[in-house]
Amino acid sequence: MATEHSPESKAPKQIANVMNETRVFPPSSEFSQTAEIGSMDAYQALYETSIGDTEKFWEAQAREHLHWFEPFTQTLDWQEPVAQWFLGGKTNVSYNCLDAHVQAGRGDRVAFHWEGEPGDTRTITYADLTKDVCRFAAALSKLGIKKGDRVSIYMPMVPELPVAMLACARIGAIHSVIFGGFSAEAIADRNNDAQAKLVITADGGWRRGKLLALKQTVDEALAKSPSVEHCIVLRRAGNEPAMQAHRDLWWHEITADTPDHFPAVELDSEDPLFILYTSGSTGKPKGIKHTTAGYNLYAKRTFEWVFDHKPGQDIFWCTADCGWITGHSYIVYGPLSAGATQVLYEGAPNWPAEDRFWELIEKYKVTILYTAPTAIRAFIDVVLQQDWWGGDVR
């Protein structure tokens, strides 16, 4: 809801209240008929089933929706406050996101339509993504990275970011993705807390037309990160950063002769998948550990239920960064486990123009957009200002 602007004040309209919304927009009957959960009654029935016998509900979900190298023998062991899921089972999240689709004949399906901020593009199928992940997993293994090792990832929103995450998951290494806007001090804090053995970064990335010198920031962090043995650098911007002999390695060089087939490690259901740190805005950043099977299942099924995703039909775009949990769950592990086709975008939502999001939605025929209230409010402000001034604010 917006306040009325006063002609005398010559001020643009402002948003006064966005929390008091009473309108209801029911779906069409056509939409409901094909929806994963087609009505409130269907939702309530699903909910009642899930709480009526929680273990039986999630056991059925896990057996149907995840691949198991070895089936689990116990659905839940809950010793409050610790819950352990699907004990005795062996699976791999990278396998569920990639191999499962390729082996089912879906390798030609597009996994990502990627758009860089400068306008460079790539289209990556599930078969392509699987090969890229296998090559990088093999390179990590060759460097001595193994199950349980911690790996920090500090990258722009390029396809190699999910590749790095999935490669770590493939070999059982525990990744810690650090938002590409964080400082060297923040990177060092996370490296040291996790005792990271490796950092993966890029020479740079683009944001609002400016080059972010990511490798330079990482170099500052590594001066205070004694546990880190190597730094892998993706050539993204071509700005030729300083490379320290024996420590720093170019991504394209270490993957030049690695195989495009590298088997996924069979991991226990409760093996750690990743650590994600809080922002630290209220104190020391806290690392939250997510384990393998329970997280994978929940990310996949909530993606399918909440977004009503139709594989092979919908084009999904989550505008978050992989540095946040939203990007982990609803760019990488949830959508890829579900076989989704997605848009992945490097830059800012309003660069080089305010309609950048809508330009990309039109270009890639996005059918499901998942974005933040902050972005929506910013777009509303732009529309209100355009309405007042009667012109384009670009």
β-sheet bridge partners, residue 83: 78
3 state SS of 388: helix
Tell me, yes or no, whether 64 lies in a domain. Answer: no
Q: Are the C-beta atoms of 194 and 241 separated by less than 8 Å?
A: no
Instruction: Classify residue 382: in a domain, yes or no.
Output: yes
Nearest one of 207, 151, 202, 139 to 175, comparing CA atoms: 151
Residues ≥6 apart with Cβ < 8 Å to 178:
152, 153, 154, 186, 187, 190, 277, 323
**62 located within any domain:** no
Tokens of 323: 């540095």
Provide the residue range defining the domain that includes 307.
71-389
Whether residue 12 is preceded by a cis peptide bond, meaning omega within 30 degrees of 0, is no
Tokens of 350: 């309003």
What is the per-residue pLDDT across 279-297, written as a single tens digit (0 to 9) for each?
A: 877 778 899 999 999 999 9
> Within a 13 Å sphere around the CA of 115, how many CA atoms are in the beta-carbon half?
18
Query: How many domains would you assign to the chain?
Result: 1
Query: Smallest Cα–Cα separation from 198: which of 126, 119, 139?
Result: 139
Partner residues linked to 152 by β-bridges = 176, 199
383: left (phi over 0), alpha (psi -120 to 50) or beta: alpha
Whether 199 maps to a domain, the answer reads: yes
Residue 338 included in any domain: yes
The pairing of strands 230-234 and 198-202 is parallel
pLDDT at 384: 67
Tell me the pTM.
0.91
Residue range 288-344, pLDDT digits in tens: 999 999 999 999 999 999 999 999 999 999 999 999 999 999 999 999 999 999 999
For residue 6, what pLDDT is reported?
A: 45
Question: Which stretches of the chain are assigned E, i.e. beta strand?
Answer: 74-79, 82-87, 90-91, 110-115, 121-125, 150-154, 174-177, 198-202, 205-207, 210-212, 230-234, 248-250, 267-268, 272-277, 287-291, 315-318, 341-345, 368-370
For residue 37, give every residue at least 6 positions away whose Cβ sits within 8 Å of its Cβ, in sequence order, or none: 43, 46, 305, 308
In a domain, 76, yes or no: yes
Contacts of 286 (CB under 8 A, 6+ apart): 277, 278
For 104, residues 6+ apart whose C-beta sits below 8 A from its C-beta are: none
In a domain, 9, yes or no: no
* DSSP one-letter string for 372-383: -HHHHHHHHHHH
Q: Is residue 255 part of a domain?
A: yes
Is residue 291 within 8 Å of residue 297, measured between CB atoms?
Answer: no
pLDDT per residue of the chain (394 residues) written in tens, 0 to 9:
444 444 444 555 555 666 677 888 989 999 999 999 999 999 999 999 999 999 999 999 999 999 999 999 999 999 999 999 999 999 999 999 999 999 999 999 999 999 999 999 999 999 999 999 999 999 999 999 999 999 999 999 999 999 999 999 999 999 999 999 999 999 999 999 999 999 999 999 998 889 999 999 999 999 999 999 999 999 999 999 999 999 999 999 999 999 999 999 999 999 999 999 998 777 788 999 999 999 999 999 999 999 999 999 999 999 999 999 999 999 999 999 999 999 999 998 888 888 899 999 999 999 999 998 888 887 777 766 665 445 544 4
CATH code of the domain in which 236 resides: 3.40.50.12780
